[in-house]
Structure 1
């Protein structure tokens, strides 16, 4: 019985040693405003929908020069309105 308990304890110890302990860095949510100073090293994703009509929400996900991930939510003027010049 003692061997069974020791074997189970050893299994738990090795399982926790190989567990994924990698932490992810928090995502920085940039605030929108009249002027936002962006430090963009790499554009990861942007969802500009130019076929929409009127002001639509858009999002830009990018990495800065320090490798931190940023998310910027902003408003975009769609170009899909009929009769617009």
Structure 2
């Protein structure tokens, strides 16, 4: 009984050692919502909303303080509406 337990444990350990051979995803997709904490060290790109009108989808690509790349998809009110007062 003990030998089968140790054999099974060794199989699990060997399987988990080889399971992490795929490279980790370098891009992190952040969740949108209220009170989202963003660790923005450098903005790589953002959606230009100056020529858009109404609520539009936008994207922010940035690096955090550890150098990992993030993407945040969110909704924003465009600033290009000519009828706004």
Q: Which TM-score applies when normalising by structure 2?
A: 0.66
Secondary structure, counterpart of 1:79 in structure 2: coil
Aligned match of 1:81? 81
Aligned match of 1:49? 49
CA contact (8 A) 2:50 2:78 kept: yes
Q: Which TM-score applies when normalising by structure 1?
A: 0.66
Q: Deviations over 1:22-67 (max 9, x none)?
A: x574210000001210001111111132221100111100000111
- Higher alpha-carbon Rg: 1
Aligned match of 1:12? none
Unaligned 5+ residue runs, structure 2? 1-22
Coordinate RMSD, CA, aligned: 1.5
Aligned match of 1:64? 64
Rounded to whole Å, the distance in 2 between the matches of 1:43 and 1:79 is 20
4+ residue segments displaced more than 3 Å: none
Unaligned 5+ residue runs, structure 1? 1-22
How many residues align structurally? 63
